[in-house]
Amino acid sequence: MAQATATTHRRSGGFWGRIRQSDLSEALWGYFLISPWLVGLLIFVAGPMLYSVYLSLTRYNLMSAPQWVGAFNYGYLAADPLVWQSLKVTAIYTFLGVPMRVVLALLVAMLLNQQVRAMPLFRTIFYLPSVVSGVAVAILWMWILSPEYGLLNSALAKVGITGPRWLMDQDTALFAMIVMSLWGVGANMVIFLAALQGVPQHLYEAADVEGASRLQKTWHVTIPSISPSTFFVLIMSIIGSFQVFTQGFVMTNGGPNNSTLFYVLYLYRNAFQLLRMGYASALAWVLFIIIMACTALVLRSSALWVYYEGELKK
Amino acid sequence: MKQVLSRRGFLTQLGAVAGVGVAGAVLSACAATPAAPQSATSEVEAAEAAAPAALECRGHVTLGYYTSTTPAIERMKAQEASFHEKAPDVDLEIIQMTSIYDKYATMMAAGNEPNVIWMGTGFWQFVGVGAFLDLNPLFDADMAIDLAEYYPKVLELFTWKDSLFALPYGFTSTVYAYNEDLLAKEGLTAPSDTWTHDDLIAMGQALTKDTDGDGRLDQFGTGNGGFWQCIWEFGADAMDEGYTKSTLDTEEAIAALQYMYDLTFGAYKIAPTPDTLQEIGGFPLFNTGKIGFWQLGRWGVPVLREGAVDINWNVAPAPGQKGSWISGESYAISARTPDKGAAWCLLKHLCDREAQETFYMTEASATPAIKAAAESDAYMDDGKPPVNDKAFVDTLDFAKYMPTHPITLEINNIVNPIVDQMNAGDITPAQAGAMMTEGVDTKLREYEGIWGA
What is the per-residue pLDDT across A8-57, written as a single tens digit (0 to 9) for each? 444 445 555 566 777 888 999 999 999 999 999 999 999 999 999 999 99
Q: What SS3 class is residue B160? A: strand
Q: Say whether the peptide bond before residue B274 is cis (omega within 30 degrees of 0).
A: no
Q: How far is A32 from chain B (nearest CA, A)?
A: 11
Please give the share of chain A, as a percent, with pLDDT higher than 70: 92
Q: Which pLDDT does position B23 carry in this prediction?
A: 55
Query: What are the pLDDT digits (tens) for B30-57?
Result: 444 443 344 444 444 444 444 444 578 8
Q: How far is A43 from chain B (nearest CA, A)?
A: 6
Q: What SS3 class is residue B244? A: coil
| Residue count (chain A) | 314
Q: Which pLDDT does position B52 carry in this prediction?
A: 44
Nearest to B279 by CA among B234, B216, B215: B216
Query: What are the pLDDT digits (tens) for B86-119?
Result: 999 999 999 999 889 989 998 998 899 999 999 9
Per the CB < 8 Å rule, is B18 touching A269?
Answer: no
Q: Which pLDDT does position B294 carry in this prediction?
A: 96
DSSP state at residue B450: I
As for the ipTM of the complex, it is: 0.78
| pLDDT, averaged across chain A | 90
Q: Which pLDDT does position B42 carry in this prediction?
A: 47
Lowest mean pLDDT among A142-146, A279-283, B248-252: A142-146
- Set of chain B residues whose Cβ sits within 8 Å of the Cβ of A142: 278
Per the CB < 8 Å rule, is B13 touching A27?
Answer: yes
Per the CB < 8 Å rule, is A47 touching B28?
Answer: yes
Q: Crossing angle of helices A186-197/A119-127, nearest 10°?
A: 140
Measure CB to CB from residue A20 to each of B3, B278, B450 and give the nearest one.
Answer: B3
Q: Which pLDDT does position B197 carry in this prediction?
A: 95
Q: Which pLDDT does position A63 carry in this prediction?
A: 84
**Phi, psi for A263 (deg, rounded to 5):** -60, -45
Q: Which pLDDT does position B363 carry in this prediction?
A: 76
Interface mutation target, options B17, B42, B280, B334, chain A, most CBs of A under 10 Å? B17
Per the CB < 8 Å rule, is B105 touching A170?
Answer: no
Neighbouring residues of B429: CB distance < 8 A, sequence distance ≥ 6: B254, B257, B258, B260, B261, B422
Q: Which pLDDT does position B150 carry in this prediction?
A: 94
Residue burial B96-118, b: 16+ Cβ < 10 Å; e: rest: ebeebbebbbebbbeeebbbbbb
Residue ranges per domain, chain A? 2-68, 72-305
Q: Which pLDDT does position B10 carry in this prediction?
A: 63
- Set of chain B residues whose Cβ sits within 8 Å of the Cβ of A141: none
> In Å, how far from its chain's centre is CA B68?
13
Q: How far is A308 from chain B (nearest CA, A)?
A: 21
Q: Which pLDDT does position B7 carry in this prediction?
A: 66
Low-confidence ranges of chain B (pLDDT < 70): 1-7, 9-11, 13-54, 453
Burial group, residue B307, by CB count within 10 angstroms (0-12, 13-18, 19+): middle
Please compute the mean of the pLDDT values over residues A135-153 and round it to a whole number.
91
Query: What are the pLDDT digits (tens) for A249-271?
Result: 999 999 899 999 999 999 999 99
CATH of the domain spanning A72-305, picked from 1.10.3080.10, 3.40.1160.10, 1.10.3720.10, 3.40.50.720: 1.10.3720.10
Nearest to B36 by CA among B136, B161, B129: B129
Q: Which pLDDT does position A5 carry in this prediction?
A: 45
Query: What are the pLDDT digits (tens) for A167-184?
Result: 989 999 999 999 999 988
